[in-house]
Amino acid sequence: MLRYAWIIAFIPALSFFLILFFGKRMPKGGSEIGIAALGASFVLSVVAAVQWIDKVESTEGGEGGHALGALGQAFHVAGEAGHTVVEPVLASVSWFTLGGVDIRAGTMIDGLSVMMLFVVSLVSLLVHIYSTSYMEGDRRYTYFFAALSLFSASMLTLVIAGSTLLLLVGWELVGLCSFMLIGHWWEEGANSDAALKAFFTTRTGDIGLIIGIVILFFGAGGTFDIPTINEMAVNGEMSQTVLTTASVALLIGIIGKSGQFPLHTWLPDAMAGPTPVSALIHAATMVVAGVFLGARLYPVFFEGFHIADGGLNAMAVIGGITVIIGAALAFVQNDIKKVLAYSTISQIGYMVMALGVGAWLAAVFHLFTHAFFKADLFLGSGSVSHAVHTFDMRKMGGLRKVMPHTFWTFIISSLALAGFFPLAGFWSKDEIINTAGKADYDFFLVVGLVGAFMTAAYMTRCVWLTFFGEYRGAEHPHESPKAILVPLWILAIGAVFAGFLNATAFDIHKFTEWVEPTSAFPEVIVPEFSVPLAVFSFMVAAAGVAVAGAYYVYGMGPRGLTERNASARAGYTFLENKYYLDHLYTDLVVGSIKGPIARGTYWFNQNVIDGVVNAAGTGTRRVGRFTYDVIDQKIVDGSVNEIAAATDETGGLLRYLQSGRVQRYALILFASVGVLSLALVFAN
Amino acid sequence: MELNLFLMLAAFLFCTGIYGVLARRNGVLVLMSVELMLVAVNINLVAFAAFTGAIAGQVFALFVITIAAAEVGVGLALVLLVYRNLRSPDLDNLDSLKG
């Protein structure tokens, strides 16, 4: 399966076309095709995961070293004893040849890909099931499932891509699907605006990605091959300038796709899409594509940003800023999905920060656990809105009694997100904070702890407003159907247990063992589990819950601060306006560029383009007139008329022969025979 | 006997036939003239067969007689129809194909 991983991505792609062509005629509107395809992909992903784990375990058994190729042997020798190397499984076919360079499309399967395959296909499958109920009766039900299938196919392509070019293809395709799905209800202007905003903002980042890929292509001597690039980066075969510029460019791509500061503004607006989409795309899978890119080309970033040196670097700073600003904005939102959206921004900030401080494994592990509880939270919020028909938390409250399943899964996931022992978020977040401390990034240790405090606090507010207190809406809430609850519980179970794959406190390092690359990978610091730090981070999270609880639930602390205190009011307004970033982009950046460019374009349009068009028009008219007068009228029509006239005259002459009298004909016949006979006689 | 005598008789008959076909207006007489032409041809065939000793000419003459019988049948039917439609056997009236 590892060599044929492309099948996993191919099945949903096939399903996309099947749903488009036959979906409307199916009894369930095409959703069954999507579920079947994702089910198959999921099963195959599990098979791939099992085979990969098998490969890793057998290699570590000591025998596997001989099975590796010559390159692996070399590494085996270079790496000290006890450091076994498991090469990624590569498979590729020739894609096209350009300028003498053979561009190959292939898959690269290692622990990271396998983990992503598992997460993407699992969440996607659950979201498909969830959507059958959530989207019931939607006017574009079939189209929705087609787009979901296409999205899954693109994301699966992205994670198995063996070359940066194929990765880019998947990257752009998920962007397109995101656009299609955010704007699913495009009849409302706000939704199509949100879709456009998401598309354009991520495109801004994509420019960075493309530039980065091109730089790496030339830096690595003309190859898009990811293992080669990584190896060259690790072995110092690429110049520092190339690596630094490439990693800055790629970082811009990550910022755009993963909703990092300052290009995060599209992600909250993307909540205009249907909730299953938010769960799948804007929480669990697509937005982590940036983190995946960072993890995939980690040697480039590691060398490019001098991550081993500690201190500050662009990647960690961007991530750190995002952690804090995302979490701060989550406090002032009334829309439950927006709270979760800002939470997602903040959590992905954690992952980027983790990559920035050298905590590769922690970043990927957080990606893994985050997928479970964030997808669960989004699907939970969808379940709530299914019951009360709004996302506004001011119109919720007291839902724990009527929606017990939704409530419990939401609580579990919230605790996991807040980093409560022993749920999934605790292990991954603790690992990030721990590594930041050990790797000489003390500043980001603090950022991580502050972020953890804020996360716990805003989730407390969110849970309190939604599920506790008195019901404040006008609807009659009810528990959601099974198609919604089953995915919720599956994800909640994942949110509880996913963390134990790398529960370092209990000396479990399975995740590290299976996922962390052993070839072409920089020497990262993997810290020992630190009990005091873990206890401290747990206390911080608990304090967050306590403070938020005291403030929101028991009404303690200063009230009406925003009315009395000018600076507090200013701060609140600042947050409510999302740091004025949207204004900055639309008014200052776009506005200042738009005016002059528009005027310049108008001038160009009027004078140059119109001139050319008019000249072309006049010229064409003259040619047309000439053609009509001379060629058409005289030559073509003339010849046709001449032929007709000649035929007419000939006919007029010949009609005398056509007397209609049999005997005249016979006379002509006999006369002709006579003449011919005479001719024959004389000729002989 | 000389072959030429037979050939001259045949030529005479054939010319009489042509004349009849071209000059007669009555459809029945035209048909009869056609028969004359066929008879002239038969005389030629038989005469050549007798003088050269090849049997094929005589066989051919028999074929021609059979065909001629059929042809007369069809021809008479046509003349009869013409007569029925036009109340006259005159072929000059048949000029609806005039151009």
Query: Contact A662/B96, CB-based, under 8 Å?
Result: no
CA closest to B94 among chain A residues: A661
Mean pLDDT calculated for residue range A464-476: 77
- Is residue A369 within 8 Å of A423, Cβ to Cβ? no
- Is residue A528 within 8 Å of A434, Cβ to Cβ? no
Q: Which residue has the tokens 């010319």?
A: B15
What are the residues whose beta carbons fall under 8 Å from the beta carbon of A577, sequence distance 6 or more?
A583
Residue of A663, A668, A672 best to disrupt the B interface, most CBs of B under 10 A: A663
SS3 A104: strand
Q: Is residue B98 part of a domain?
A: no
Residue spans of beta strands (DSSP E) within A499-658: none
- Is residue A229 within 8 Å of A302, Cβ to Cβ? no
B94 to chain A, closest Cα gap in Å: 7
pLDDT for A203-233, tens place per residue? 888 888 888 888 888 888 777 888 888 888 8
pLDDT band at A80 (very low <50, low <70, confident <90, very high): very low
Q: Is residue B21 part of a domain?
A: yes
User: Which residues in chain A have Cβ-Cβ distances shorter than 8 Å to B30?
Assistant: 663
Amino acid occupying residue A530: S
| Ramachandran category for residue A450: left, alpha or beta (phi over 0 → left; psi -120 to 50 → alpha) | alpha
- Is residue A110 within 8 Å of A162, Cβ to Cβ? no
CATH of the domain at B59: 1.10.287.3510
Q: Is residue B94 part of a domain?
A: no
Mean pLDDT calculated for residue range A10-21: 85
How many domains is chain B built from?
Answer: 1
Q: Is residue B93 part of a domain?
A: no
ipTM (interface pTM): 0.81
- Buried b vs exposed e over A3-26: b needs ≥16 C-beta within 10 Å? eebbebbbbbbebbebbbeebeee
Mean pLDDT calculated for residue range A118-122: 88
Helices and strands in chain B, H and E counts: 3, 0
**CB nearest A661 (choices: B18, B21, B95):** B95
Q: Is residue B96 part of a domain?
A: no
Q: Is residue B73 part of a domain?
A: yes
- φ/ψ of residue A75, rounded to 5: -65, -35
CA closest to B24 among chain A residues: A663
Query: Contact A657/B99, CB-based, under 8 Å?
Result: yes
Q: Which residue has the tokens 């829309």?
A: A335
- φ/ψ of residue A509, rounded to 5: -125, 30
- State residue A84's pLDDT score: 66
Half-sphere exposure of A47 (CA within 13 A, CB side): 13
Q: Is residue B97 part of a domain?
A: no
Q: Which domain holds residue B8?
A: 3-88
Q: Which two tokens stand for residue A144?
A: 């929705």
User: Which of A196, A387, A447, A413 is closest to A283 using CA atoms?
Assistant: A413
Least confident of A144-158, A445-459, A577-591: A577-591
Helices (H), A258-335: 266-269, 275-279, 289-296, 298-304, 314-330
* B34 or A77: which leads in pLDDT: B34
- Our measurement of the distance from residue A224's CA atom to the centroid of its chain's CA atoms, rounded to an integer in Å, reads 20
User: Rounded CA gap, A182 and A512, in Å?
Assistant: 35
Q: Is residue B23 part of a domain?
A: yes
- Measured from the Cβ of residue A486, the count of other Cβ atoms closer than 10 Å reads 15
- Is residue A448 within 8 Å of A426, Cβ to Cβ? no
pLDDT at A616 over 70: yes
pLDDT at A174 over 90: no
